[in-house]
Structure 1
Amino acid sequence: MEDSEEVVMMAAKRDGRSVMRLERMFRSEIDEKLVHHVAGGPHKGILIAKAADNLKDVEPPEGRLEFLAYLINEEQQNQSVQDYWTLRFWFRGQAEGVVKKKTFTDYFQELMNPSNFPKSKIFNFKSFTSVFTPASYTYQLVPEVQINNKTFITFMVKAAADAHVALSAVYGDVDRKTFEIVIGTDGNTKSIIRYGAGGPVMTESMTMNVLSQDDFRYFWISWANNKIEVGRGANYGVGAFLQWTIPPSKQFNINCLAVSTGTPSKGQWEFAELLDAEKDFGREAKKRRIKHSLLWIAKKQKMLQCLEDAYPNMAKTPDLFKLCKIKQSDTMAALVFLSDMQKKNLIKEVEGGFWMRIQSSQETEVSKHEVKIVKNLPQLKPSDQPTIAIVTSLFCEKVAADAMIEEKTTYVKYKTEGESQVYTLGRIGKYKIVSTKLSRKANSEQETRISAENTITRLLGTFNKVHHVIIVGVGSGVPHYTDGDKHVRLGDVVVSVPSRKNGAIYMHCHKIEKMEGGDGYNYSTREWDCSDNSLQDVAVSLKQIIERDTNPQRPWDRYVSDAKDTLQTEESNFHRPPLKTDRLFYTDDNGTELEVEHPVAGKAYRVGQSNCRLGVIASGKLVSRNPRLRQSFAELNGIRAYDSDVSAVLESLEGNRTNSFIIIRGISDYSGGSRKEWQPYASLAAAAYMKSLIYALA
């Protein structure tokens, strides 16, 4: 039987004060003889233990809240009763300090909810953050203590010697742009200020026995007006024993706090913050915190999205913050989020201040995927050279495509300046495969085109045996409002096959002119087709086989299902969104958008699964973003889907004389292919069809 967890409440007296301990315990650890009451109903899972004469000692708390409350006793003529409270918190696991602090402050806010707490007035509310440092001169970051908007801090520390405080400009970097204060160095005989951790001493002072390993000692540090001061006691500005005026060449904004203790001693630190309970814990404050939290979730996602677009290129911290509109006052919080994403293996700081989105290294029962960040690519034997290349643009497209590759290794050849490259090498069936991703430049469409052309040229130059190129990813479908056999829905796949003999497989519209004296338009286009139609012939053959079979077993359905296990640890959700989110709209002649029903599906169409349509794929903002023009242009040219424009890729393939290529688009919306909710699944559907195509290739 599973050993369930319960919350055990136990009351006791300690030093003349009432104590209540709430602790999560496994059922097997609980002495049933001590259980006084087992709660039920909404309080199920809580056990109330008998009052104890004494509670066993535990480790020091990781967080503490103290406040003075005046409780109003309505039964005794509204007399006030002074009540001093201390809430102590312990945490399991290795959660970030900011997460721990948010947890216990949110707990306090719920506890003080007027609907379930006696009418009271709260004073002198203090939040304490505890940090424990080993005797190893290893800095512990303290992001929960916000210092970017302060000019001083007060704290307590218990240590035998060598209490180090680092005040830095860059989160996690204590070597550059850092002031290091060391209290009680040289056997607890003096204190110093250094520039940089372990750097040159700027000033020092004799401070015999300034620290204690048995008792907490109060200190304060100020950096106001480009002057660092350190003093004893809880009263800021009193008892200074270290002073140093910072020269102009060493001045910077302080955004980060870190602490450590040297090899002679471990340490315990406490940082206190005095809060206004009404201001910081009222209903409006809760709304502000929720709004602030949602805002930061959006900013975190924006940073991740920017790194995904840039991948395999890196982004400098200042450039990333500028792109994501991170204010100077928010840099500390943003750096905390970057550090958190790095711990989750979503991103990596490849070099100081250079961040890169990284793919997950995975190991399953049937395959292993290793990701290596390298300066140079390994030399391949002629027999290991790939003959099929896969090109993607979005990060989720690359991840989905790689999920189809067996026995794979990803190499990221990085540069801090210039363009990096990513190649995943492996096989699908009997074919050796290489997949890559285009970097999307946020600031310039022209730069994105140049980067795409360079990526393809390097790909074909590095792997000169590549014969087929498959461009895989998401696009926007062209619906048919009356014919279910021609209708394209979300999650379907469109494959670039000409709509007429010797016709184009891809079209880019770069200019539109209204016809004189009529309602029509002239479209200026650039078209591409293949001199080697091997891939298109296989796509047509696959469709014919599926349509002939009365109960076809479509291979891509199995590949989608198999890949979900591989992709379940990814940040993106590759499961198919609910069918109800696939809503269809029609824009009438007056420009009014109306929601309409999907046409009745044809007999070969499977609603709720990925179906394949063959046809031309097109691009061009002038037509794809205008509902009436995109429909008209599609009807004229047999277009089944639009994408974000891979004309630069096709021009590079043409220039490198690659004669066999095909575009596969999973449908994520009906407008621009940018609907985030459907993009991961649409990428997966396109990748699964790609694998089916390769297996069917002779």
Structure 2
Amino acid sequence: MDQTEESLLKMADSEEIVMTAAKRDGGAIMRLERMFGSEIDQAKVHHVAGGPYKGILINKASSGLVDVGPAEGRLEFMAYLVNESKHNEHLQDHWTLKFWFRGTEDGLVKKNTYTDYFRELMDPGDFPKDYIGFIKKALVLLQGYSVIKRVELQVKQTNDQSPEDVIPPIRSFTTVFTPASNSFSFVPEVCINQKSFITFKVKAACDVRIVLSSIYGDVNHKAHEIVIGAEGNTRSYIRECANGVVRAESMTMNILHEKNFRYFWVSWADQYLEVGRGAQYGQGRFLQWHVSPKRQFKVNCLAVATSKSTRGHWEFAELLADYKEEDPEVEAGRIAKRARIREQYVWLSRKYRLLHFLEDAFPNVVKIEDLVSQCKIKVTDTLVIALVLAELQERGLIKEVVDGHWMRNHGGGSAQTEDEVKLVKVMPVLSSGDQPTIAIVTTLFCEKLAVDAMIDDKTTFVKCKTEGESQVYTTGRVGKHRVVSTKLPCNPGDIEASNIAAGNSVTRLLGTFSKVEHVFLVGVGGGVLYEHDRDDTVTSDDLVTLGDVVVSMPSNGTNAMYTKWHKRENVGKEGPKYSPRTWHSHDDTLRRIAKNLKDKSVNTFDHLIKSALLQLNDSKFHKPSNASGTPGASNTEELSERGTTVVSGAIASISCMDDDEEMRMSFAKTNQIKAFDKDFEAVLESLDGNRNESYLMIRGIADFLYGGRKEWQPYASLVAAVCMKTILLALN
């Protein structure tokens, strides 16, 4: 790996805390967000901090922030300030802290995490003297809470008067989403075992269900159920346990609303179960049941659900318990909790590091020594390694092929189908009628899963070796065409060896399946932003955003479908001179079909996406929630409204590029590049060497560098695979 590529990888993989300030609803808002280098729009960066603040970037003030969906947790409180410059004038501010998380931890862990973050932020022994100090502390603290993805701090000045002798409460809000499935979700982060009532608000079309239970996980025995807006949003009732006997009911026409929150309270004090409408506990009662002695029990936990007719958005509010920093037992408990959370995430990081390395290497087998070395795990942590591997194997994600040699399971842990996977020493000979005429080449594990979800009647053969290169071939049908898909092994620590292995794998593929006529190279890439153009020559049709698809097509009056920067020379004032290497397929059959997809929305292929998601049964393939926006583009709103789009144009390798954005943009504009990827030179050379006349490259956009943003890679792989299948279905 040369220095240029190494610096690019380092930049893309490093994680920073980025702050953006803006105005919203008459108040100031600061968004603190954990981002990878490839996600950061360098044109917006105002300051890069150093010293004790290293890893923190400050963006220029923004006129508006991209919508990132509802927060998973929220805290609100009042702050009373004194303005010394205005004769000690008293000011009153209303603060709101919103939290978003990453990972799959349960709600209780998330709530404990943001509560700990807030308490540490508000520590009276280290409380900042002004707003700037407060924001600095919030930024630095966020670096230590890796589970938190994003924090928003909003402050509004208010004239609401409160008694000076009363300390305003700090309110904590827990957000819960329930699917349209009638399945109950327990909410351990809403602690009710020491309470006799709760208040909440909910947004749903009808049929919201609350269960108060004595036993966590049980809604059918010691439990009460409240159903609000049943029977088409016309009635509400109290039942003994879930779906039990109705004990109280009331006519409640249109009590719920699908787009607006409605407030409610539930009380279980003094042997009465009561339900009321409104934010004020005790007012607006519309259901009441005197609980008989044999049905009385201590309420310890809460579960919520919505029917198959609607989804629900819930918010539960409670006062944050008093917290005394000087109490040594409380302080020791907080430190121990922080340590446990940190240990959990260290464990998780090791686990996913091992899994991702095995996914990159697949179908190759990895020795335990190489696995430990490449994942930078201490050899002395033998117990940790054994436990991590045992857990991943138990979940069906990996397998030990022979002693000390591990491999990622094909589709294990995600694709829940009955398709066959066969370990073979020699590839079986296929009959003439079963010989594929279409080959599909992928590099990432998620790309292979997405492509295979497009294939019917499939069988996977893994030719496994403990030394040397293994092969994986999935054969089946797409429409009337017999196809074979494969994944190229990759070693992130040895780019040269990976390129050699990629070329060899393609040569073996074409040698094993000699009737292949067309080859698709399907996967992820990085979109090119033409925001530097000011001459209006670039239209929105030429721009790409996250989740779009770029299909390789000759541009700039040449046959170049794929370009690699081969040499750069400075030519005085004329700027850099490029000596690009180009490739193109001689047969234009696939290109002619692909041209008809230009400007067509991939949303028209919804049936293919939905079918694939059912097969994959893995939430990571869904479109990420922060789906909108193209950083730095002047017409972001137009792009986000048009939906996912197929764009035709040349694709290029980024492997020899400097991490200079202006230089990369210059190369892209000169060669009319629409997307970049890591480097497919070895694959294209193998196709040329094996005299393959027809191939097409399809790239789903995962970021704006080379496609390395892991959050977007699965969805980008899926839309690229959908585009491939659409072309195949149109192929005669």
- TM interval, short-chain normalised: 0.5 to 0.7
* Residue 505 in structure 1 maps to residue 552 in structure 2: no
Aligned counterparts, 1:508-587, within 5 A: 508-515=564-571, 517-543=572-598, 546=600, 556-568=605-617, 570=618, 573-579=620-626, 582-585=629-632
CA contact (8 A) 2:517 2:692 kept: yes
In the TM superposition, residue 431 of structure 1 has moved relative to its aligned partner by 0.5
State the secondary structure of the residue aligned to 1:503: coil
In the TM superposition, residue 582 of structure 1 has moved relative to its aligned partner by 3.5
In the TM superposition, residue 378 of structure 1 has moved relative to its aligned partner by 2.0
Q: Report Cα offsets for 1:179-204 as digits up to 9, x if no partner.
A: xxxxxxxxxxxxxxxxxxxxxxxxxx
Aligned counterparts, 1:299-310, within 5 A: 299-310=350-361
In structure 1, distance between residues paired with 2:418 and 2:642: 31
1:657 to 685, 691, 713: 691
2:716 to 682, 686, 690: 682
In structure 2, distance between residues paired with 1:682 and 1:364: 17
State the secondary structure of the residue aligned to 1:440: coil
Match of 1:377 in 2: 427
Aligned counterparts, 1:439-478, within 5 A: 439-478=489-528
Match of 1:590 in 2: none
Match of 2:317 in 1: none
1:423 to 473, 479, 482: 473
Q: Which amino acid aligns with 2:576?
A: Y
In structure 1, distance between residues paired with 2:487 and 2:379: 32
CA 1:25 to 1:48, structure 2 compared with 1: closer, same or farther past 3 Å? farther
Q: Which amino acid aligns with 1:353?
A: G
In structure 2, distance between residues paired with 1:3 and 1:653: 51
2:678 to 638, 644, 660: 644
Match of 1:609 in 2: 643
In the TM superposition, residue 531 of structure 1 has moved relative to its aligned partner by 1.4
CA contact (8 A) 1:345 1:360 kept: no
CA 1:310 to 1:3, structure 2 compared with 1: closer, same or farther past 3 Å? closer
CA 1:362 to 1:580, structure 2 compared with 1: closer, same or farther past 3 Å? closer
In structure 2, distance between residues paired with 1:345 and 1:48: 49
Q: Report Cα offsets for 1:559-596 as digits up to 9, x if no partner.
A: 2232111122x3x60111135563413xxxxxxxxxx5
1:391 to 441, 445, 455: 441
CA 1:388 to 1:403, structure 2 compared with 1: closer, same or farther past 3 Å? same
In structure 1, distance between residues paired with 2:468 and 2:684: 23
* Residue 319 in structure 1 maps to residue 370 in structure 2: yes
Q: Tell me: higher relative CO, structure 1 or 2? Use CA pairs within 8 A at least 6 residues apart.
A: 2
* Residue 493 in structure 1 maps to residue 549 in structure 2: yes
CA contact (8 A) 2:546 2:627 kept: no
Aligned counterparts, 1:193-342, within 5 A: 282-342=333-393
TM-score for both structures, normalised by structure 1: 0.57
Aligned counterparts, 1:133-212, within 5 A: none
Q: Which runs of 5+ in 1 are unaligned?
A: 10-21, 51-112, 122-276, 547-551, 586-595
State the secondary structure of the residue aligned to 1:282: helix
State the secondary structure of the residue aligned to 1:443: coil
In the TM superposition, residue 24 of structure 1 has moved relative to its aligned partner by 5.0
Match of 2:408 in 1: 357
* Residue 668 in structure 1 maps to residue 715 in structure 2: no
CA contact (8 A) 1:312 1:421 kept: yes
State the secondary structure of the residue aligned to 1:623: coil
In structure 1, distance between residues paired with 2:468 and 2:635: 47
State the secondary structure of the residue aligned to 2:597: helix
Match of 1:343 in 2: 394
Number of residue pairs matched by the alignment = 442
State the secondary structure of the residue aligned to 2:596: helix
CA 1:116 to 1:312, structure 2 compared with 1: closer, same or farther past 3 Å? same
In structure 2, distance between residues paired with 1:574 and 1:31: 36
In the TM superposition, residue 519 of structure 1 has moved relative to its aligned partner by 4.8
CA 1:324 to 1:581, structure 2 compared with 1: closer, same or farther past 3 Å? farther
CA contact (8 A) 2:396 2:413 kept: no
* Residue 413 in structure 1 maps to residue 460 in structure 2: no
Match of 1:598 in 2: 635
Match of 2:663 in 1: 629
CA 1:402 to 1:608, structure 2 compared with 1: closer, same or farther past 3 Å? farther
CA 1:114 to 1:630, structure 2 compared with 1: closer, same or farther past 3 Å? closer
State the secondary structure of the residue aligned to 1:607: helix
Q: Which runs of 5+ in 2 are unaligned?
A: 1-181, 194-213, 225-239, 241-267, 276-280, 282-290, 295-319
CA 1:289 to 1:655, structure 2 compared with 1: closer, same or farther past 3 Å? same
State the secondary structure of the residue aligned to 1:538: helix
In the TM superposition, residue 638 of structure 1 has moved relative to its aligned partner by 1.5
Q: Which amino acid aligns with 1:307?
A: L
Q: Which amino acid aligns with 1:578?
A: S
CA contact (8 A) 1:471 1:661 kept: yes
CA 1:625 to 1:390, structure 2 compared with 1: closer, same or farther past 3 Å? farther
In the TM superposition, residue 116 of structure 1 has moved relative to its aligned partner by 9.8
State the secondary structure of the residue aligned to 2:554: coil
In the TM superposition, residue 542 of structure 1 has moved relative to its aligned partner by 3.4
Match of 1:14 in 2: none
CA contact (8 A) 1:341 1:347 kept: yes
CA 1:3 to 1:450, structure 2 compared with 1: closer, same or farther past 3 Å? closer
Q: Which amino acid aligns with 2:682?
A: A
TM-score for both structures, normalised by structure 2: 0.55
Q: Report Cα offsets for 1:365-411 as digits up to 9, x if no partner.
A: 9x842222222222210110000000000111111011111111111
In structure 2, distance between residues paired with 1:575 and 1:559: 13
In the TM superposition, residue 432 of structure 1 has moved relative to its aligned partner by 0.2
* Residue 479 in structure 1 maps to residue 516 in structure 2: no
Match of 2:487 in 1: 437
CA 1:408 to 1:363, structure 2 compared with 1: closer, same or farther past 3 Å? farther
Q: Which amino acid aligns with 1:294?
A: Y
Percentage identity across paired residues of the two chains: 42
Q: Which has the larger radius of gyration?
A: 1
In structure 2, distance between residues paired with 1:672 and 1:48: 66
